[in-house]
Chains A and B, each alone.
Chain A
Amino acid sequence: MVGTVLSLLYDEMVRIWCYRWTAIITAIVLFVAGAAYIVRMPDSYDAWAQIYVPRQTSLSAAAANVSLGAEYGSTYVVQKTLLNDQNLGKVAEQLNPALSRLTPADRQAAILGLRNKITIRPDDGDGFTEFHYTASNPAKAYNVVRLLLAQFVSGTQDRAERDFSQADVFLDSQIAIYQRKLNESQQKLIAFHQRYGDTTAVTTDTAEEADAASEVENARAAYTAALARDGVGTPAQAQIAALEDRIAALRLQYTDQYPDVIAARQQLAQLQQRSAQGSKGGDSSAVAVARGQLAAAQARLRRARFRPTLPPQIAAQEADLRRTDDMLRNAYQELLARREAAKMSLAVYGANNSSKFQVTNQPTIPAAPSGPNRLLLLGLAVLVAIAGGIGAAYLRGAITGVFVAPRELEEAFQLPVIGTISWEQTWHTGEVVQGSRHVAVFVTFGVILLVATVLVSVSTSPWLQAIFHQYSTTLFQGFVK
C-alpha cells in the first residue's frame, strides 16, 4: 500500500520533471513580477504612543469583592472605550475637515479604514498599552496617534471623575439605606418585647433547682428527726409524711384532677383524721417548725422548676427579628469601613486624578521607515515562485497527459507493453552537445533575468538606491585612501 502510494508519488514527480522548463520559466516570471512589486512597494512609517494605566483605582478599591466587569486599565477596556465610532469620527474629522460634508456611508468607510489600521498592543504584565498607526506618510501616522492619545486623555479624565463621584454617591446612599433598615429592625424588636414580656429576663437556672431539691431533702430529714425525737413518731405520722411527699411529687406532673392525686389526698385526709383522733395532744413546737420548713422548701423547689413557655410561632418570630437585626448591623458596619477605604484611596490618588495614568511615550514623527520587510517578502516570493513553477508544470503534465510509467500506458490503451528501453543521452551523437547546450542556455537565461530584476529594482526603489549609494560611497572612500 505504502509502496503503491510512493510509486504514484514518484510518477507525479517524474511528470513534473518532464516539464521542468515550464516550471523554471514560470518560477522566474513569477519571481520577477513579485520582486518588481515588492521593490516598488511604498515605505511604511509606524507612529506609536505608550500609556500606563494602573489597574487599581479608587473605584475598584471601594468596590472590592464586588464585580464591576473588566479591569479598569485593561487593553480590552481601552480598546472598547477608545475605538468607538464617536472617537474615531472625531479623529477622522480632525485629520480631514472635509469629512463632515461627506455622506454617512463615506464617513463610515473612513472610520472603518482608520480602525483597521490602528493596533492596540497589550502588555500582559502591567498596565502598559501601546497604540500603533502605520502609514506611508510619516506625518499622517504621527497625527493619528497624537489625536488618538488626546482622545484617550480627555475621555479617561471625564470617566475617572465620574467614577469618583459615583463611588461616593453609591456608598453614601447605601449607608443611608442600611441605617434606616437597622432602625426599623430595632423598633420592631422593642415592640415585640413590650408585647410578650422580657423573655430574656426569665431564665431556667438548673443550679437553683438542684439547690432547692437538696433543701427539700434536708428539711424532710429534719422533720423526720423531729418527729422521732418527739416520740410521737407513729407509723401514722410517717405515712402522712410519705403521702405528702407523694402528692407533692405527683403535683409536679399532674393537675389536681388526676385520679392518683385525688386518691392520695383522700388517703391523706383519712390518715390525718385518724392521727388527730389518736393524739389529741397535738404536735410539739419543734415538729411544727420542721414541718413549716419542709413546706417552705417544697414551695421553693416548685418555683425553681417552673418554666415559662411561649407559643412556638411567637418564638420563631422573635428569632427572625434577631437574625435580621444582626445581619443589618454587620452590613452597615462593613459599608462604613468601605467608605473609609474609599476616602483613603481618594487621598492617595489625588482629587484631580493627576496620577491616574501616565503617557510613557509621546508620539513622534517617525524618521525611518518601519517596513515593509522587503528581504522577507523577497524570500517569500522565491518560495511562491518555486511553488507556482511546480504547480504550472504539474498542471501542464496533467492537461497534456504524458506517460511516465509503463503501467499508465498499459492501463490507457489495454495493449501489452512488452518492454521499457532505458535512454542514454549518448545514444544519439547529437544529444550530448544538445544537453549541455540546454544547461548553458538555462543558466544564461536565469542570470540575465536576475540581473534585469536587480537593475529594475535599483532604478525604481529609493530604498535600494539608498543602500547602493551607501555602499558605493564606502567603496569610493576606500579607493581614495
Chain B
Amino acid sequence: MGQMSKVPFTGKVFPADISVDDDTVLVPANTVSNLEKVEERGGVVKRVGSVVTPHFDESRTREDFRVVKRHILSRIDNAPADKSKDPRTILITSASPREGKTTVTLGLAMSFIFERDYSVILIDADMRSPELSRRMGLSGELGLLDFLENEEIGIEDIVYPTSVKGVYAVPAGLPRITAPELITSERMTQLLKTFHDGSQKRIVIIDSGSVLACSETISLAGYAGQIMFVAAKGQTRRKDIDEGLGILHRQAGPIDESRVAMVFNKTDHSRSPVRYSRNS
C-alpha cells in the first residue's frame, strides 16, 4: 500500500476529475489529473492512436455495434450497487485467436463517438499478439506492461489520445515473460480503479487474448464486470467455446447471463432481429 502511494504521478490524468478518496484509491488524489495532460509526455507530444475501422460508415455495421453498445449500457445502468466487479470494465475475449476480438473492440469504441456522457478507454491486453496496438499505430510505445512493472511510469504516460474524441488507448507495451503475474498485481487493480474514479463516466474495454491461448485473459476476467465472448460464424468450434467458458467459470467467477454475453461475429449480414436487453 505504502509502496503504491509512492507512485509519482505528475499531474491529473483526466480533466474535470474530482474527489478521490485516499482510503480507497492507492493513487494520490492530487496526481489524478485532466486528460489534456495525456497528450504529451515530458514535454514531448505523444503519438495519437488511430481508431480506424474501415467501412464503419456502413450503416448496417454501425447498427450492429449500436445494438451491442446498447446492451452494455443497459447492463451498466441495471447493475446492482453492491456488485463486486465493476460492470464498466468490459473484457472482450474469445475461445481461439482470430475470431475478431480487436475488430469488435474498435467497432465498439467507434459506436461510443456519439455518446456524449461516456468516454472510452481501450486497453490492449493481448500480450501474445498486441493487435490493437498495431492497428492503432501504437506498437512499441510505452504501455500496460511497462506501467505494471515500472513504478516510475505513471498512468498518464500510458494513456494515449486517439483520432476520435472521447476514446483513449492503452497499448500493450513491451512483451514480457512475466506478463501473467503482472496482470494479477495490485497495480492493475489500482489502474482500473483510477480509470473509473471521478464524476466522468468512463468505460474500460479490455481487448484480451483468447481464453485457450493466453492465461492472462483468465486473470483479466476477474476484473471485468462484463465479458463479451466473441464467436465467429462458421469458424468457432463448439468444443472450444465449451472449454473456454469452462475455464472462465472455474477460475474467474460464475459464468451467468448477467455477466457473460456472446457476440456472433463475421456474419454476412445480421440475420437475427435486433434484440435489446433480454436480461440485465
Contacts and interface: CB of A to CB of B under 8 A. Distances in A.
B236 A403 contact: yes
A389 B235 CA distance: 19
B270 interface: yes
A479 interface: no
Nearest to A16: B234
A413 B272 contact: no
Given A421-B107, A424-B55, A407 B272 contact: yes
A476 interface: no
Contacts of A429: 54
Interface string B90-115: 00000000001001100100000000
B149 to A, nearest CB: 31
B78 interface: no
Contact of A412 (B64, B67, B107, B238): B238
A421 B68 contact: yes
Contact of A17 (B234, B266, B275): B234
A295 B200 CA distance: 164
B234 A417 contact: no
Given A401-B237, A421-B68, A422-B60, A416 B279 contact: yes
B55 A427 contact: yes
Interface residues of B, number: 47
A405 B272 contact: yes
A96 interface: no
Interface string B234-269: 111111011001000000000101001111111111
Interface in A423-451: 423-424, 426-429
Of A404, A405, A422, A423, most B-chain CB atoms within 10 Å: A422
A402 B235 CA distance: 6
B58 interface: yes
Contacts of B272: 405-407, 417, 420
Nearest to B107: A421
B38 interface: no
Contacts of B275: 417-418
A419 B67 CA distance: 6
A422 B267 contact: yes
Given A424-B55, A424-B58, A418 B238 contact: no
B195 interface: no
B278 interface: yes
Contacts of B237: 400-402
Contacts of B54: 424, 426-427, 429
A415 B231 CA distance: 12
B257 A416 contact: yes
B9 interface: no
B41 interface: no
A402 B238 contact: yes
A109 to B, nearest CB: 52
Of A402, A407, A410, A418, most B-chain CB atoms within 10 Å: A418
A154 B241 CA distance: 80
Contacts of A169: none
B100 A401 contact: no
Interface in B186-243: 228-229, 231, 233-239, 241-242
A241 interface: no
Interface string B65-84: 10110011000000000000
Contact of A415 (B260, B266, B271): B260
A409 interface: yes
B243 to A, nearest CB: 12
B278 A416 contact: yes
A248 interface: no
Nearest to B257: A416
Given A401-B238, A424-B58, A426-B55, A417 B261 contact: yes
Interface of B: 53-55, 58, 60-61, 64-65, 67-68, 71-72, 100, 103-104, 107, 228-229, 231, 233-239, 241-242, 245, 255, 257, 260-272, 275, 278-279
Top 7 A-B residue pairs of the complex, sorted by shortest distance between their CB atoms: A18-B234, A401-B238, A423-B266, A419-B68, A418-B71, A420-B264, A418-B261
Interface of A: 14-15, 17-18, 400-407, 409-410, 412-424, 426-429
11 contacts: A14-B233, A403-B238, A406-B264, A409-B264, A415-B262, A416-B261, A417-B264, A418-B228, A418-B261, A423-B100, A424-B61
Given A413-B241, A416-B257, A421-B267, 13 more contacts: A400-B237, A403-B234, A403-B238, A416-B261, A417-B275, A418-B68, A418-B71, A419-B64, A419-B67, A419-B71, A420-B263, A420-B271, A427-B103
